[in-house]
Structure 1
Amino acid sequence: MTETADRTRRRWLVLAVAVAGQAATSTLVYGLPFLIPALRAAEGLDLAQAGGITVAPVLGVLVALIAWGAAADRFGERVVMTIGMTGTGVGALAAALLPGIPALAASLVVAGVFSASISAASGRAVLGWFGPTERGLAMGIRQTCQPIGVGIAALALPPVAGAFGYRAALLVPAALCLVCAVLVALALLDPPRQPAKSVAATRSPYRGGRLVRVHLASALLVVPQFVAGTFALTYLVSEQDWNPVAAGALLAAVQALGAAGRIGAGVWSDRVASRMRPMRTIAAGAALALVLWAIGDQVAPWLAAVGLVATMVISVTDNGLGFTATAELAGPFWAGRALGIQNTGQNAVALAVAPVFGALVPAAGWVWALLIAAVVPVAAMALTPVKGEGIG
């Protein structure tokens, strides 16, 4: 096998392992909203309280991302991801077994802290193995991990919770994370590291405002994604009288469309040599989808379902673009930290969406809550730094 062929084989192996690891953690970090009906029934919680508990892992992610990114910059991706996958699995196991709501929430936060390592380190690994002309595709594939993980959660968690309780359902992400910890330890390969060619290569990439604007626009675009992802099942069950298992099956199928959309957006960005122009277009689409959902809520259930599905699909396709742009602007010596900052902003917004939107719905109704949410991606369009973009 030639050196080029060996490198090709290795980079796709790294990408596959990164997707598997991030998908496993996503079943916990982003899949818990599918347990909201079971959690409310078992514990007597209102919508805002249950939503707050299901985003507890996101709080853990939020406080740890930058530190894990710095660790990946210094120690490499393999060791960081192995520790992170193991800790996430153990935290999820504790959440399933320890009694009481406080112990549940604390265990989920701890699991989130460890899962933060995967976001920064796996993205850094993909950046190191793929060049600029394929990076959008590679990052798009890597970003399918979240829809895959959420899709697994949508299929597995509601029926397990219905049969054995929501605590038993937490054993699903625990098992997935522990299995993937072994996979990462055995198969993940750190990319070759090149010495800095100049002092400029190691300087902070935050000089000027472009990278900051990428972070801000990406954070705002989390709002439509998490409005749909957190409340879709609850909306279909409580407002449209769907069966929870049937709704979960639909939403799992939607995740496949979202995964395909992320790959398509990555290829699109490679073809047009721009991450920001496609990202701005996607922001416009997310705003329109939320408006369609709001109109459908008043006009016809089928139209509301179309708007909901459109929001879920469109709102996730930009993630890989912001992630890729961040890595490219930061460069290899700052990528881990910059990706940590990128994800910190996104998860800070995600953490606020569940309780804020959960409180807004009973106060203003679904229509106004959705229309208010639609304003946010419009603001993201204005922040997206299209002018003067270059990739490499």
Structure 2
Amino acid sequence: MGHEQDEQDGRRRWLVLAVGMVAMIAGCAFQFGLPYLIPALRDEGLSLSQAGLLAACPTIGLVLTLTAWGAAADRWGERWVLASGLGLGGLVLLGSTAVRGTVGLGACFLLAGAAGASAHASSGRLILGWFPARQRGLAMGLRQTSLPLGVALSALLLPPLAGRGRSAALAVLGALSVAAALLVVALVRDPARPGAGAAGRSVNPYRTPVLWRLHGAATLLVVPQFTVSVFALVFLVDERGWSPSTAGPLLACVQVAGAGARLAAGRWSDVAGSRTGPMRRLALTASVVLVALAAGAFAHAVTATAALMAAGVVTVSTNGLSFTAVAEYAGGAWAGRALGVHTTVQNAVAAGVAPAAGALIGAAGYGWAYATAALFPLVAVAVVPGDGRPTNR
């Protein structure tokens, strides 16, 4: 009887993970995939700056509400918080198909992004509650692949849909979010809630420096990640002489390899029984690879291309580890808020990386930009805390 119950629980937890990933993919397809609608928005008469601002509105909404959604999940559970946020966001997107004017569209996109932020906090809490520590790193690594998968889905769907008009593309994005919300209601069940004792870690975990150091280290690692990814295509075209049509598929392969690196890092942490140990080693590896990339860029060497691909993979490999470490240390009573703070800080810093790195590239060249980025993982190695006591084993 116990063996059958274990098998049933195992099937349930992987089903919850799969539905959580679908929810994240639907949310990320809109929140981070809207730039693929920029040509359609410009066809409506918007300037490039206006279209770019509209594309940024979902991310702004996301940053504004992540912590609040996390607190709601901590208090009321993941299932209805996740479903209500996605459902509301999807309905706003469906309503935006009838909206005209930059201000109206911007308000809709901001509200939809703010509502859909529920997926980022709630799906992480589900993994903490349903998966034992020995599987949690791999599960969180799988969850972290939802962002590139969501962006890839937008890349496939939005350009052809936009040929029929902006409204058709927004209708599909809205329908995806609503469908994901209904799937959550039908298939997801909240994990058992922790008690008020030590297992639930009801005492504010921010009274110690561990969570602050995890937030800080992960945010430092955002800088090289976005320095590499944002300018990878331009580097290959301008510095290496590649055509965009050749560079694009290569960088798509790098994205896939990066998703694989997240999974491998998560599994490594499960086997090692540590999130922060692998995180330190991968951060140090990222610094070494970035130094090689900087050297190749200074010398205009062919090795720069290989180093760029390696950097694109290794700089994203720690994402799942930091999320898992934050959720485990915060515990069931605080995980939603902690993950909300974690994602908020990362997104806020990421928004500033592109203009800052672009200015440095314009003033001093790619070599100095990559050399500067190599310093951030070194600082992160020192900031990453020792292993806290994971909860919910």
RMSD value, Cα:
3.2
Matches within 5 A, 1:55-94: 55-93=56-94
2:10 maps to amino acid: T
TM-score between the two structures when normalised by the length of structure 2: 0.85
Q: CA deviation at 1:349?
A: 1.0
CA distance in 1 between counterparts of 2:165 and 2:245 reads 14
Structure 1 residue aligned with 2:124: 123
Unmatched tracts of structure 1, length 5 or more: none
In the other structure, the counterpart of 1:138 is: 139
Report if aligned partners of 1:154, 1:249 keep a CA contact under 8 Å in 2: no
Change in CA separation of 1:173 and 1:221 when aligned onto 2, cut-off 3 Å: farther
1:182 paired with 2:188, answer no
Letter in 2 for 1:225: Q
Residue of structure 1 in register with 2:276 after alignment? 276
Per-residue deviation, residues 40-64 of structure 1 (Å, max 9, x unmatched): 8985537xx8766544322212111
Paired letter, 1:60: G
Q: Match of 1:366?
A: 366
The answer to whether the 8 A contact 1:274-1:391 is kept is no
Given residue 269 of structure 1, which amino acid in structure 2 is its aligned partner? S
Separation of aligned partners in 1, 2:114 and 2:286 = 29
- The aligned counterpart of 1:195 is 195
Other structure's SS at 2:117 match:
helix
Q: Which residue of 1 aligns with 2:222?
A: 222
Q: Pick closer, same or farther for the CA change 1:164–1:289 going to 2, 3 Å.
A: farther
> Judging changes above 3 Å, is the alpha-carbon distance between structure 1 residues 86 and 99 closer, same or farther for their aligned structure 2 residues?
same
The amino acid across from 1:4 in the alignment is: D
Displacement of 1:39 after TM fit?
Answer: 7.2
The residue matched to 1:221 in structure 2 has which SS? helix
Is residue 29 of structure 1 aligned with residue 18 of structure 2?
Answer: no
For the residue of structure 2 that corresponds to 1:206, the secondary structure is: helix
**Distance change (3 Å), C-alpha of 1:310 and 1:104:** farther
Aligned 8 A contact 2:202 2:334 in 1: yes
**CA spacing shift, 1:91–1:372, aligned 2, 3 Å:** farther
Distance in 2 between residues matched to 1:70 and 1:374, nearest whole Å: 35
Q: Is the 8 A contact 1:55 1:351 kept in 2?
A: no
Q: CA deviation at 1:226?
A: 2.4
Residue 372 of structure 2 aligns with an amino acid whose one-letter code is I
Match status 1:19 vs 2:52: no
Cα distance in 2 for residues equivalent to 1:84 and 1:359: 37
Counterpart secondary structure, 1:192 = coil
Q: Is the 8 A contact 1:51 1:355 kept in 2?
A: no
Structure 1 pair 276/35, CA: closer, same or farther in 2 (3 Å)?
farther
User: What's the offset of the Cα at 1:290?
Assistant: 3.4
The SS at the match of 1:203 is: coil
Equivalences for residues 289-368 of structure 1 within 5 A = 289-300=289-300, 303-368=303-368
Change (3 A) 1:325 1:307: same
State the structure with more CA Rg: 2
Rounded to whole Å, the distance in 1 between the matches of 2:323 and 2:15 is 20
C-alpha contact 1:223 1:373 (8 A) present in aligned 2: yes
With structure 1 as the length reference, what TM-score do the two structures score?
0.86
What is the number of equivalent residue pairs in this alignment? 388
Deviations along 1:347-383, one digit per CA (max 9) or x if unpaired, are: 1112222333344433433333333233222221221
Give the SS at the match of 1:112.
helix
Q: State the Cα distance separating 1:315 from its structure 2 match.
A: 1.7
Matches of 1:40 and 1:306, distance apart in 2: 36
Map Cα deviations across residues 155-213 of structure 1 (whole Å, 9 max, x no partner).
4455666x567786555544432332222222112112243235983101112211110
One-letter amino acid of the structure 1 residue matched with residue 374 of structure 2: A
Unaligned runs of 5+ in 2: none
Amino acid at match of 1:7: D
